[in-house]
Every structure is written in structure tokens, then in C-alpha cells.
Amino acid sequence: MDYSKLNGLIPAVIQDADSHEVLMVGFMNDEALARTRESGYATFFSRTRNKLWMKGETSGNRLAVTDILVDCDDDTVLVKVKRQGDGNVCHTGERSCFYRKLDTP
Amino acid sequence: MDYSKLNGLIPAVIQDADSHEVLMVGFMNDEALARTRESGYATFFSRTRNKLWMKGETSGNRLAVTDILVDCDDDTVLVKVKRQGDGNVCHTGERSCFYRKLDTP
């Protein structure tokens, strides 16, 4: 993977393996991606807290990885997941972080 | 939108409005997002060329926007599109940029 473009990070798009909804976008560094692959649960690098976090580790709403795909220039991953717990991925309680629509002309 | 986290840019996830495949991830600045909304075609900011580019402007493989969704903390957009031209989004000629799978244990 090429981590050089964003200071050691790559975007990780999280997609529901069954419904195909895009649930969230987080960032991973090399260690977060390695942990994700080893543990089978999506693990990110928090830019605000400056540390790794396994999504749902405390709430139980973990994201069990079914597939990880890499893009053509090795700087982004697409992580397909099955939702555990109550299945609400967003911290607002919504199912997906993308719950608001922008107006388009 | 909050462009402060990535030096004026936000990730833009491009998803096929019909098949729900994630096709690519690009970056937008404020102007690229405004152009996308005005023109109805996905327009990015190229980090390597340091300028705006409408995807497919020369090839004809443009991405016609059907919806733009914003995430919970305003720092990412999900752009749903219909593919024009030959429908191959990746510069390698693949349908999607995410055509390779990483091994998971």
C-alpha cells in the first residue's frame, strides 16, 4: 500500500457486504490495516485521538470483515463488512454515516 | 463541509447508483464539489496535477450524479452516479478501481 499521499494514512471505505450500503469512511495506517486483517474486525487510526481504535470494541457494534479490496493505485481500501450488535454504524445512532442528502440543481 | 482535516480536501466515494458497486475514491476541494453540483458530473481535484478535472471529460466516460450524501461530521461525501461511455471507471480499463482483493486470514 502507498501511505505517502496522506501522511501515513489511507482512506478506508466501509461497505455493507449484504445491503451494499456505504456505511462510513475512516482512515487506516499500516498498523490499523494489519490489525484489521489479523483480527477480522475493522480497525482505524483516529486522527483526533491519534491512536488505533477497533470500531465497536466497547459498544459491541463491531464490523466483521468479509473482504478487503485495494484500488488501482494502492492508496485506498474498500472493506466489506457484516454489522454486529445493533447494526447502527454512525455515532449519531443512524444506520450509516451518510444519512443526509445535498441539494443538486 | 469541513475541509480542514485534509488541507482543503475531502474524500469523495463514487458509487454506482444502480449496481451499488463502489467504483473509485477521489478528492474534492470546495470548488470541485461546487462544479460537481452545478454540472451534474463528478469533478475532482487532482493532487498530482494540482487542478480540477471532470472525470471522463475527454474519454466520454463521465459520471452523471444522481445523489450526493454527506457524512455525519461533514468531512466526506458519497456520490451516487450513472456511468456514461463504456462504463469503465478505472484508468486500467477495469469497471471499478477496486478489482484486487487482499488476503485475509
A24 beta partners: A14
- Quickly state the pLDDT bin for B103 (edges 50, 70, 90): confident
Interface contact B102-A20, CB threshold 8 A: no
User: If pLDDT is split at 50, 70 and 90, which confidence band does B105 have?
Assistant: low
d(CA B11, CA A43): 19
| Distance separating alpha carbons of residues A43 and A13, to the nearest angstrom | 12
What span, in angstroms and rounded, lies between the C-alpha atoms of B44 and B53? 5
A38 CB neighbours in chain B (<8 A) are 105
Instruction: For residue range B48-80, list pLDDT tens digits in order.
Output: 899 999 999 998 999 999 999 999 999 999 999
pLDDT of residue B72: 96
The distance of B101 to chain A (nearest Cα, Å) reads 4
A30 at interface of B, judged by CB pairs closer than 8 A: no
* Residue type at B105 in one-letter notation: P
pLDDT given at position A104: 74
Query: A34-75, pLDDT tens digit by residue?
Result: 999 999 999 999 988 999 999 999 989 999 999 999 999 999
B contacts of A6 (beta carbons < 8 Å): 6
Q: C-alpha distances in angstroms, A4 versus A1, A76, B1, B13, B21? A: 9, 12, 25, 20, 26
- Average pLDDT, stretch A13-40? 97
Q: Tens digits of per-residue pLDDT, A77-91? A: 999 999 999 999 998
Q: How far is CA A67 from the centre of its chain?
A: 12
Please state the ipTM of this predicted complex: 0.95
A101 vs B: CB within 8 A: yes
Taking CB atoms and an 8 Å limit, are B20 and A24 in contact across chains? Answer: no
- State how far Cα B14 lies from the chain centre: 4
Closest approach of A59 to chain B, Cα-based (Å): 18
Residues A61 and A96: their CA atoms lie apart, in Å, by 12
Tens digit of each residue's pLDDT (9 = 90 or more) over B29-55: 999 999 999 999 999 999 889 999 999
Q: Which residues does chain B have within 8 Å of residue A15's beta carbon, measured at their own beta carbons?
A: 22
Stretch B1-16: mean pLDDT: 96
Q: Do B40 and A105 touch (CB under 8 A)?
A: yes
pTM of the model: 0.96
Q: How confident is the model at residue B94 (pLDDT cuts 50, 70, 90)?
A: very high
Choose among B13, B68, B98: nearest Cβ to A25: B13
Say whether A48 sits in a helix, a strand or coil: coil
Contacts of A7 in chain B (CB under 8 A): none
- Count of residues in chain A: 105
Cell output for B90 = 478505472
Please give the pLDDT value at position A48: 86
What SS3 string covers chain B? Answer: CCCCCECCEEEEEEEECCCCCEEEEEEECHHHHHHHHHHCECEEEECCCCEEEECCCCCCCCEEEEEEEECCCCCCEEEEEEECCCCCCCCCCCCCCCCEEECCC
Q: A20 to chain B: which residues are within 8 Å by CB?
A: 20-21
Pairing of strands A10-16, A77-83: parallel
